[in-house]
Amino acid sequence: MYRLLLLATLLAAIAPAQLRIGIVGTDTSHVPAFTSMLNDPAHKDHVPGARVVAAYKGGSKDLPSSWDRVDKYAEEIKSKWGVEIVPDIATLLTKVDAILLESVDGRIHLAQFREIVKGGKPVFIDKPLASTLADAREIARLARENNVKWFSTSSLRYGEGIDSVRRPDMTGVITWGPGPIEPSHHLDLSWYGIHAVEMLYSLMGPGCVEVTRAYTDGADVVTGRWRDGRIGTVRLGRPSSPYGAVVFGPKGVSANVDKAYGGYAPMVREIIKFFRTGTPPVSEEETLELFAFMEAARLSRERGGATVAVR
């Protein structure tokens, strides 16, 4: 009996403690989805090792997709999972080990991040990282200044759909997905087109030097030239589109047609791994270039399809 008790004590000592996760912004469906995945051991995609324990509602009164969901999702995670709803970010920081910045409105991410960095805790920032390239760069600067680890990504970067088409000899990539635009407040591709852009960068990596965009009411085609000569293209359909990717190589083509989405679980596993290790799976360099790519695409649209340098 003594040996069994000693063994149990040793195992408890070496087992990683369960991380306490805090949420900022309860106005996206990711909030109940991630919370159930983390807090429910019976969930088919349960990710162990962390639990959402507290949340700050936030919200944006001038964005319908925010104000019509923020209270509903806050109540859902409170009633189903016992998540404590707190009055401000400062209070949240006293109760958690890591932060999911989930606010659907990218405009308020910078202001919320200014408060979050005061806690010195690792942060995952859901899409869109910010509403502008300037805000994205300021978030990165604040993180460096305060020694706060962070990353941002789309769930479309992960899963078998993208991994299945990777080739060591890639000469070019085409990705596609839905591209509805939030017309008033955000860098246009960052609102939903960012998913297909993330897929492109997951396969191509950084290094794009110029972008050209063909825009119509029903679709976008954005083409980038990488400094090593490779070509990467994103096609966005409106109002909707499936996701997919084609990878070109000198000796063949790999394709995943309409099956690129693999759910949230692969991304949530990466988030929890990041919270434990402090090593982001997507670099700051790549994330900021991805935003510079979308900003160049915006300028190309404004200039009638002219080629614009990625800066």
For the domain that residue 58 is a member of, what is the CATH number?
A: 3.40.50.720
For residues 77 and 160, membership in a common domain is answered with no
The answer to whether residues 143 and 19 belong to one domain is yes
Instruction: Tell me how many domains the chain contains.
Output: 2
Q: Same domain for 305 and 174?
A: yes
Q: And the tokens for 25?
A: 């912004």
Which amino acid belongs to residue 251? K
Residues shown for the chain: 311
166 and 145 share one domain: no
* Domain end residue (candidates: 93, 122, 152): 152
137 and 204 in a single domain? The answer is: no
Is the distance from CB of 58 to CB of 70 less than 8 angstroms? yes
Residue 203 lies in a domain: yes
Cα pseudo-dihedral 298, 202, 223, 167, rounded to 10? 180
Nearest to 211 by CA among 192, 191, 194, 234: 234
Q: What is the pLDDT of residue 61?
A: 83
The pLDDT value recorded for residue 161 is: 75
The pLDDT value given to residue 251: 87
Q: Are 234 and 253 in contact (CB under 8 A)?
A: no
CATH number of domain containing 219: 3.30.360.10
Residue 218 inside a domain? The answer is yes
Residue 37 in any domain: the answer is yes
Q: Are residues 175 and 84 in the same domain?
A: no
pLDDT for 246: 95
Q: Report helix, strand and coil shares of the chain as percent, to nearest 5.
A: 40, 20, 40
CA distance 297 to 220: 10
The verdict on 46 and 182 lying in the same domain is: no
Distance CA 289, CA 60 (A): 27
pLDDT at residue 55 in the model: 98
141 within domain boundaries = yes
Among residues 152, 185, 201, the one where a domain terminates is: 152
Closest CA to 30 of 169, 112, 116, 128: 128
Within a domain: 273: no
Among 152, 168, 193, the domain boundary falls at 152
Strand pairing report for 19-24 and 50-56: parallel
233 and 106 share one domain: no
Same domain, 97 and 189: no
Per-residue pLDDT tens listing for the chain (311 residues)? 455 445 444 434 444 689 999 999 999 999 999 999 999 999 999 999 999 999 999 988 888 778 788 999 999 999 999 999 999 999 999 999 999 999 999 999 999 999 999 999 999 999 999 999 999 999 999 999 999 999 999 999 986 778 888 888 999 999 999 999 887 778 899 989 999 999 999 999 999 999 999 999 999 999 999 999 999 999 999 999 999 999 999 988 999 877 777 789 999 999 999 999 999 999 999 999 999 999 999 999 999 999 999 99
Within this chain, do residues 200 and 107 fall inside the same structural domain, yes or no?
no
Q: Which of 120, 118, 115, 152 has the alpha carbon at shortest distance from 136?
A: 152
Element (H, E) at 286: helix 284-302
- The predicted pLDDT at position 49 comes to 97
pTM here is 0.91
The domain in which residue 244 lies consists of 156-262+282-309
Residue 240: inside a domain, yes or no?
yes
The Cβ of residue 309 has, within 10 Å, a number of other Cβ atoms equal to 11
Residue 80 is predicted with a pLDDT of: 97
Q: Which two tokens stand for residue 244?
A: 């997919």
